[in-house]
Chain A
Amino acid sequence: AQKVTQAQTEISVVEKEDVTLDCVYETRDTTYYLFWYKQPPSGELVFLIRRNSFDEQNEISGRYSWNFQKSTSSFNFTITASQVVDSAVYFCALSEVQAMEYGNKLVFGAGTILRVKS
């Protein structure tokens, strides 16, 4: 069965600090997808990134970067020079590839609350 663990329940940092959010996953599939979503105080879930299991290259998007390591089953998310607007709950999610007729679904971690103080 697939499982996603976000061990950090809550992280508080001061603006401009770098912060890393951890995500560890479990799956029996060799082909799968990993995602990060952001849930700001307004409540909606905002898609940030998707990676497939065959692409271990790290990705950078502005102040955001992601480190995918299959050897440790981890997909960590780093925010560089954090800002108050980064305050949100961040969710890591996993999707296993299934037969086409069975579609696809996301399994979410419990989320990490990030508080960035000015």
Chain B
Amino acid sequence: DARVTQTPRHKVTEMGQEVTMRCQPILGHNTVFWYRQTMMQGLELLAYFRNRAPLDDSGMPKDRFSAEMPDATLATLKIQPSEPRDSAVYFCASGRTLNTEAFFGQGTRLTVV
């Protein structure tokens, strides 16, 4: 049963520390998305990739966030330095072709204290 895999599932870190979240998209999917979910803002698109190339990262705070796809099987989202306001659930999703549904991972719940 193919699924998007995210690690870690939970992360508690102190303010100022670097946080790296990882995502393994479904094999064969060529589009990868990073979303952030908070009570206040709901689901926000942070960045997305097509064929490993970043297409839009306008939703990301550029000074502290970075997203990469080192290869087709791995997407990473880094926050450095982390701040308490970054506390949220971060979802990765992947899709096969344009405009088909995106399949979501289980999310990484990040708490920055």
Contact = CB atoms under 8 A, between A and B. Distances in A.
Contacts of B93: 45
Nearest to A43: B107
B45 A47 contact: no
B89 to A, nearest CB: 7
Interface residues of A, number: 26
Interface in B54-85: 55-56
B104 A44 contact: yes
B45 A107 contact: yes
B89 A105 contact: no
Given A43-B89, A44-B107, A104 B42 contact: no
Interface string B75-102: 0000000000000010101010011111
A103 B50 contact: yes
Interface in A59-97: 91, 95, 97
A95 B99 contact: yes
20 contacts: A35-B101, A37-B104, A42-B106, A43-B89, A43-B109, A44-B105, A44-B106, A44-B107, A45-B93, A95-B99, A102-B56, A103-B56, A103-B98, A104-B95, A104-B99, A105-B33, A105-B45, A105-B56, A108-B43, A111-B43
Given A43-B106, A91-B43, A107-B45, 8 more contacts: A47-B103, A52-B99, A97-B98, A97-B99, A103-B31, A104-B98, A105-B33, A111-B43
Interface of B: 31, 33, 42-43, 45, 48, 50, 55-56, 89, 91, 93, 95, 98-107, 109
